Chains A and B, each alone.
Chain A
Amino acid sequence: MNTQTIAGQSVSVNDEGFMTSYDEWNEDLGRELASMIGIEELTDDHWAAINFLRSDFAERSETPTLRRVTKVGGIPTKQLFVLFPKKPAKKMAYVAGLPKPKGCV
């Protein structure tokens, strides 16, 4: 576990740079994290996805899958690939300050 300074704030991150504490996140950090993976501007559509991830995680203690973002969050999968190119599940989790989707090993 490391500490990293992002957007002027000291936050806990894991080896891959994912934030590890739900409560340390705020929107400024989200914008900075997005810029670190090449997303320069977060539009309303980006925020709709990020906000869904945050609120769903608060309720279920699990990062939602793409299917859940699509079916429950109402954002089509294709659009998620446009907003967060190539690796939307991982990139959304990164920007939202949540754990990446994992398997069992």
Chain B
Amino acid sequence: MKQLLVLGAGTAGTVAVNKLRRRLPADEWTITIVDSKPQHHYQPGYLFIPFGTYGADEVTKPKAQLITDGVDLIFGEADIVKPEQSIVVLADGTELSYDQLIIATGTHPRRDQTEGLDSRHYGETIHDFYTLEGATRLAQVLDGWKGGRLVINIVEMPIKCPVAALEFMFLADAFFAERGIRDRVELTYVTPLDGAFTKPVAAECLGDMLERRQITLETDFMTMEVDGDQKMLVSYDEREIPYDLLVTVPVNMGADFVDRSGLGDELNHVEVDRHTFLSDDHDNIFALGDAANLPTSKAGSVAHFAVDVFVDNFLQHIKGQPMTGMFDGHANCFIEAGNGKGMLIDFNYDVEPLPGKYPLPGIGPFSLLKETAANHWGKLGFKWTYWNVLLPGRYFPFGPDMSMMGKRMPEAKSPRPLQTSRSIDWMQSATDSEPDQQLDHPHAIKGATK
């Protein structure tokens, strides 16, 4: 018997074993999946918990119920992979051998990577919503909040579900307006990138979304530390942003065993081929989902499309044939906009998010890069699809390759004048102010006072 060993029973690992069990003969292959936690979390649901839309029980199910018969589920934590011997050692010392290994242990927020985030202020004035515990605690805090400065900061890219921080701001704006205290809340979105929208077409279509909601934008902010006593975010270039409530999106990192096993990059994401997910160094190790260092979004939709391509490739690979499927980096994400509306983006390694209709060209029902009620209902309805269609690996009518059908390139703008010396646009932003100006208003940030 040959052994397929899968580490991680999240979205990618679960879909992979459920699909592969149907395709791999039971008398030739055993499939074992290892995970440290008994509950599967529907992570896109975390976003709704702080605003009371979902409760914790609506986003969890026992993993044992989600893994198909014929797959062995072991609860344990990987300690190290020894590729030369083709074994995985678990934290309790158990050794599991494999013929083929899939690493699908995801990526996780790491507060310990930023000074001050892991302090006693966490859970009081510092919160997060990328964990079930954090999102649940934040719901209690927001429920009783009387107003003040709410700051959300993305410490560093890449993060999983990269639009969630923006969605959080849109939902917060609507939430406080509904409670009649929007005028007592200052919302500030802090990003290490040079804008909330950095792709040209998305920026053109959505660029005013923050301004319309009076959400202050602070760009190019590389968080150096969080001073919990002073309630202040501090950047490497010594900008300071005061908060009453900080909602942080910490550095995201893959599992530590990836690093210990010598398989990861600087963030412990497994280095693999971006089209086939095969390890750069080992012919019998793959990485799927957020655990892989693919240059596309870390998102459930990517994991789902990637596994579709992977399954056929894997069957070729174990027969010694070349893998013919090529993953294109396809991602498809709903973006909540607040007030019962949402947006949708669809893109891949080469094509940025474009406007149009999805999935049926010209018809939809979903609209790309546009706020509509249908998109909002699509996002809410996806939870059912996730549990009932996607995780079991059932037939899904949309294939993994991104389609250009239904998409349109906005008309080209008239060419901008060529930039000359000292007139580079992005050098002139407000955050480029000289240090002496900052000293005059040490705590003032652009637009923070209304």
Given contacts A65-B156, A77-B236, A86-B431, contact A104 B222 (CB under 8 A): no
Contact string against B for A residues 55-89, beta-carbon threshold 8 Å, 1 for contact and 0 otherwise: 00000111001111001100001100100011111
Residues of B400-421 contacting chain A, CB below 8 A: 415-416, 418-419, 421
A2 contact from B193, B265, B418, B427, Cβ within 8 A: B418
CB <8 Å contact, A4 and B418: yes
- Contacting residues, chain A, for B345 (C-beta < 8 A): 104-105
Q: How many residues of B contact A (CB 8 A)?
A: 46
Question: How many Å from the CB of B146 to the closest CB on chain A?
Answer: 33
Contact string against A for B residues 213-226, beta-carbon threshold 8 Å, 1 for contact and 0 otherwise: 00000001010100
Given contacts A71-B266, A86-B432, A105-B353, contact A37 B206 (CB under 8 A): no
- Contacting residues, chain B, for A103 (C-beta < 8 A): 157, 162, 191, 193, 197-199
CB <8 Å contact, A35 and B421: yes
Q: Is A90 an interface residue (CB 8 A)?
A: yes
- Contacting residues, chain A, for B166 (C-beta < 8 A): 105
Q: Is A38 an interface residue (CB 8 A)?
A: yes
Q: How large is the interface on A (under 10, 10 to 19, 20 to 34, 35 or more residues)?
A: 20 to 34
Contact string against B for A residues 22-48, beta-carbon threshold 8 Å, 1 for contact and 0 otherwise: 000000000000011110000000000
Question: How many Å from the CB of A42 to the closest CB on chain B?
Answer: 16
Contact string against A for B residues 192-217, beta-carbon threshold 8 Å, 1 for contact and 0 otherwise: 11100111101000100000000000
Q: How far is the CA of A37 from the CA of B425 in the complex (A)?
A: 10
Q: Is B256 an interface residue (CB 8 A)?
A: no
Q: Is B144 an interface residue (CB 8 A)?
A: no
Question: How many Å from the CB of B306 to the closest CB on chain A?
Answer: 16
Question: How many Å from the CB of A31 to the closest CB on chain B?
Answer: 13
Given contacts A81-B237, A87-B194, A89-B192, contact A36 B424 (CB under 8 A): yes
B157 contact from A81, A85, A101, A105, Cβ within 8 A: A101
CB <8 Å contact, A105 and B206: yes
- Contacting residues, chain B, for A90 (C-beta < 8 A): 194, 220, 426
Q: Is B104 an interface residue (CB 8 A)?
A: no
Given contacts A81-B236, A85-B237, contact A101 B193 (CB under 8 A): yes
Q: How far is the CA of A49 from the CA of B193 in the complex (A)?
A: 19
Q: How far is the CA of A69 from the CA of B292 in the complex (A)?
A: 20
Question: How many Å from the CB of A45 to the closest CB on chain B?
Answer: 16
Residue with the greatest number of chain B CB neighbours at <10 A, chosen from A38, A87, A100, A103: A103
B266 contact from A61, A67, A86, A88, Cβ within 8 A: A67
Q: Is B163 an interface residue (CB 8 A)?
A: yes
Given contacts A68-B266, A104-B345, A105-B198, contact A62 B295 (CB under 8 A): yes
Q: How far is the CA of A100 from the CA of B424 in the complex (A)?
A: 14
Residue with the greatest number of chain A CB neighbours at <10 A, chosen from B267, B347, B419: B419
Q: Is B422 an interface residue (CB 8 A)?
A: yes
Q: How far is the CA of A21 from the CA of B419 in the complex (A)?
A: 18
- Contacting residues, chain A, for B266 (C-beta < 8 A): 67-68, 71-72
CB <8 Å contact, A105 and B427: no
Q: Can you name the residue of chain B whose Cβ is closest to the Cβ of A85?
A: B237
CB <8 Å contact, B220 and A102: no
Given contacts A102-B198, A103-B197, could you give 19 more A-B pairs where the C-beta distance is less than 8 Å? A2-B418, A4-B419, A15-B416, A16-B426, A17-B419, A17-B424, A17-B425, A68-B265, A81-B236, A87-B432, A89-B220, A100-B194, A101-B157, A103-B157, A103-B193, A103-B198, A104-B333, A105-B198, A105-B335
Q: List 27 A-B contacts (CB under 8 A).
A: A15-B200, A16-B424, A16-B426, A17-B419, A36-B422, A37-B424, A38-B427, A60-B295, A65-B158, A66-B192, A67-B251, A71-B266, A77-B222, A78-B236, A86-B431, A90-B220, A100-B194, A101-B157, A101-B192, A101-B198, A103-B157, A103-B197, A104-B347, A104-B353, A105-B166, A105-B198, A105-B335
What 8 A-B pairs are tightest by C-beta distance, nearest first? A105-B202, A71-B266, A102-B198, A17-B419, A104-B297, A81-B236, A103-B198, A87-B220
Interface residues of B (CB under 8 A from A): 156-158, 162-163, 166, 191-194, 197-200, 202, 206, 220, 222, 224, 236-237, 251, 265-267, 295-297, 331, 333, 335, 345, 347, 353, 415-416, 418-419, 421-422, 424-427, 431-432
Interface residues of A (CB under 8 A from B): 2, 4, 15-17, 35-38, 60-62, 65-68, 71-72, 77-78, 81, 85-90, 94, 100-105
